[in-house]
Amino acid sequence: MDRANRIICNQTGKILLQTGEATGDILEHDEITELHCIDVPYGSIDYTKNRIIGINIETKQPVLEEIPIYVSEEEKRIQELENQILIAENEKVGGIL
């Protein structure tokens, strides 16, 4: 199945988004009957911790999803060893840490 390149533009014709053409097991574009937009204030979302997954059409607010943090087994083991070293040093110096 081939999918067309959908282009979304503003009232002056300036291109805001292109989906690009695609082929394969790609779903067709959804039919658009209305378009909405919101402006999310700069700095109001920490994009390193959250991503926007939708917009609540009634409240005009972004719907956020927390980005899961992947920690490898090696990183967990390193953190555990660092904690053990800190605890040992703390006991060694008499509980200053």
**What tens-digit pLDDT sequence spans the chain (97 residues)?**
888 999 998 899 999 999 899 998 878 888 999 888 899 999 999 999 999 999 999 999 999 999 998 889 999 999 999 999 999 888 888 766 5
Decide: helix, strand or coil at residue 30. Answer: coil
At 40 the pLDDT is 95
At 93 the pLDDT is 80
Judge if pTM exceeds 0.75. Answer: no
At 94 the pLDDT is 76
Distance linking the first and last C-alpha atoms of the chain: 63
**Measured between alpha carbons, how far is 44 from 50 in angstroms, rounded to an integer?**
11
At 78 the pLDDT is 94
